[in-house]
Structure 1
Amino acid sequence: MLGTAAPGRRWLLVEYPAGWARAALDSPDFPPGAAQELEQAALSVRGRVVLIRRPGRQPKDAPRRWGVVDHGGAQQWGWWRDADDLTEAARVLRAGPAPTSGDAQGEPDQAAYPLLLVCTHGRHDACCAIRGRPVAEALARRWPERTWECSHIGGDRFAANLLVVPDGTVYGGLDPESAVQVVDRHLAGHVDPVHLRGFSAHPPVVQNALAAVLRSHGPGAPDDVTPGRVDQTGPDEWVVEVMGRGASPPRTVVTVTRSTQPPAQLTCRGAADTTAYVYAVRLGQDGR
């Protein structure tokens, strides 16, 4: 499961309480011209567009929010009713969020951060709805302002999946009980190694290296480890330098090797068996 967080350093969250099509931006009544513009803007900045909604039934005619959230924590929010409003969202996605005073239109209260996004995108894969909705409901009971259902974020086979923004940590294999425990730990600055899928700001090899250091020396927060130099030493081998703070060593060298699993059905919807990469790690000498 490690190293499977879908890449993304900037997120556009678009509130859309109605049902989501298999391709989320093809959903009924979602402005088609705006959908294409948002997708192009996301591609230009290595970002992701994700639809969000509150757990449970919501009025479809209520004002809807959009928000651009950077991995570094910057964010900008607004309200939308039509394609013109989403054109502004696309502009902010391309340019990056502008600093705000904290009372900008649509911006959640600071107590609502970080945001907890649970994939419940049943039309993309039934597993996400079956396993994701109970998790979203459990988190919403504990953290109602933080919790949102969201559209596809990758890794359907690991449902229920949770994306934490802005730090971009992704957890999988959750049920209602474990999800509350994982979020409790995360909010206390401790990444949960059992359910961790990875960190969306980094490629899979680096995700595995960072997770290995946290698992070996933790508990620790996502920003306690950062990548340094990354060298590919073979077709399926990399050496990653990990810089640490807190309980993690100042410097650890991690060797990451990649192999391919035999074909298997990876999702509830999967019509054919598919292969997937798996990674193994070996920690070298640290800087202590």
Structure 2
Amino acid sequence: MTAEARFFCADAARSRDDPLAGTAPYGSTWILIEYRGGWPPNGFDGLPLDPGTKGLVFAAAQALRARILLIRRHGRRLPEEPRRWAVLRYDDDGAHRQTWGTWNRDEDLAGIVDALGTPGEPGRPPVVLVCAHGMHDACCAVRGRPVGRALSERWPDLVWECTHVGGDRFAANVIVAPDGVYYGNLDAASSVSAVEEHLADRVHADHLRGYTNLFPPQQVAVAAVLARFGPAGRHHYVIEETSRDHDRWRIRVTSRTLLSPVHDVEVRSHRTPPRQLTCRGRSVSSAVVYEATSIRVG
């Protein structure tokens, strides 16, 4: 009698060829908190912090729909340095803003609340976040940590491992913030290539889950244009118009470049059969999938 093979959600998603595009969670603000101890399955919510400070940070984040992520350097290096926190904001014009601070006591994290009420500093390099939250999902550790190591070796000052970012089955997942770009299905080699191209302002459709300032059908439309016409800068394309008819969308994608063509993208959605979508969750559920069915160039 043989033991049942262990289930890995990322392996299952690849075998099904689950589409990546349109799977980036919506959001424009990230709160990062460096925490070098073990990460609980529910991340920030599970930390043994001062309840008053924790409540303040959580309420301020909730008011702005900000995502709170715990971060650490790969290998948990540099323990002698003060722990850091950051507030990252995405702006549609590309003038992204960041505020960084340090904390020794739990109460120092109240600085995050103040930072959420200020514009932040423009012009800083982006932050590269690699989901390596093994206590949340095994695939995030198995696939995320090798990617964290490869990226950290190349860009040690930009790269942090982080807690759950959504879409475990697309591990390894990488976010470039505050650019608001999700990449998935990465390994060590492809992650270095994807981030290198991103930092050169060339976003490729390969491995792109989406832009977090767009909704799923819009993410798919931009990914389809990138796949058809080649890589482009993060802010090269703009969603000019979106209309919906039941399970179909018509999305007009334009360029910030003068005299560039207009792209009218047709997107259709459907639900998948019930499946086990994460390693930890044994229950099955269906997912909504968005797919581009046509692109008309005007």
TM over 0.5: yes
Q: How far is 1:219 from its partner?
A: 1.5
State the alpha-carbon separation in 2 of the partners of residues 12 and 28 from structure 1.
Answer: 15
Counterparts of 1:11-50 in structure 2 under 5 Å?
A: 11-50=30-69
Residue among 251, 267, 276 paired with 1:256 = 267
Unaligned residue ranges in structure 2 (runs of 5+): 1-19
Letter aligned with residue 100 of structure 2: W
The secondary structure found in structure 1 opposite 2:31 is strand
State the alpha-carbon separation in 2 of the partners of residues 119 and 279 from structure 1.
Answer: 24
Deviations 1:144-193 (A, max 9, x none): 11110011110001001000012111011111111111112212222121
8 Å Cα contact 1:170-1:199 kept in structure 2: yes
The secondary structure found in structure 2 opposite 1:264 is coil
1:121 is aligned to 2:133 = yes
Could you say if the C-alpha distance between residues 253 and 166 of structure 1 is closer, same or farther in structure 2, counting changes exceeding 3 Å? same
The secondary structure found in structure 2 opposite 1:56 is helix
Residue among 200, 209, 212 paired with 1:188 = 200
8 Å Cα contact 2:252-2:263 kept in structure 1: yes
If the length of structure 2 is used for normalisation, what is the TM-score?
Answer: 0.86
Q: Please, what is the CA RMSD of the aligned residues?
A: 2.1
In structure 1, the partner of 2:89 is 70
State the alpha-carbon separation in 2 of the partners of residues 231 and 176 from structure 1.
Answer: 39
Q: How far is 1:116 from its partner?
A: 0.8
Could you say if the C-alpha distance between residues 126 and 96 of structure 1 is closer, same or farther in structure 2, counting changes exceeding 3 Å? farther
Aligned length: 275
Residue among 151, 175, 180 paired with 2:187 = 175
Could you say if the C-alpha distance between residues 82 and 148 of structure 1 is closer, same or farther in structure 2, counting changes exceeding 3 Å? same
Matched residues, percent identical? Answer: 43
Could you say if the C-alpha distance between residues 96 and 4 of structure 1 is closer, same or farther in structure 2, counting changes exceeding 3 Å? farther
8 Å Cα contact 1:241-1:251 kept in structure 2: yes
Counterparts of 1:239-278 in structure 2 under 5 Å?
A: 239-245=250-256, 249-278=260-289
8 Å Cα contact 2:238-2:256 kept in structure 1: no
Counterparts of 1:50-199 in structure 2 under 5 Å?
A: 50-58=69-77, 62-72=81-91, 73-93=96-116, 95-99=117-121, 110=124, 113-199=125-211
State the alpha-carbon separation in 1 of the partners of residues 48 and 81 from structure 2.
Answer: 14
State the alpha-carbon separation in 2 of the partners of residues 30 and 153 from structure 1.
Answer: 21
8 Å Cα contact 1:69-1:97 kept in structure 2: no
8 Å Cα contact 1:224-1:248 kept in structure 2: no
State the alpha-carbon separation in 2 of the partners of residues 3 and 247 from structure 1.
Answer: 27
Letter aligned with residue 85 of structure 1: D
If the length of structure 1 is used for normalisation, what is the TM-score?
Answer: 0.88
Q: How far is 1:38 from its partner?
A: 2.2
8 Å Cα contact 2:50-2:107 kept in structure 1: no
8 Å Cα contact 1:225-1:248 kept in structure 2: no
Deviations 1:82-111 (A, max 9, x none): 333222202322x243347x8xxxxxxx4x
Could you say if the C-alpha distance between residues 39 and 134 of structure 1 is closer, same or farther in structure 2, counting changes exceeding 3 Å? same
The secondary structure found in structure 1 opposite 2:74 is coil
Q: How far is 1:243 from its partner?
A: 1.7
Unaligned residue ranges in structure 1 (runs of 5+): 103-109
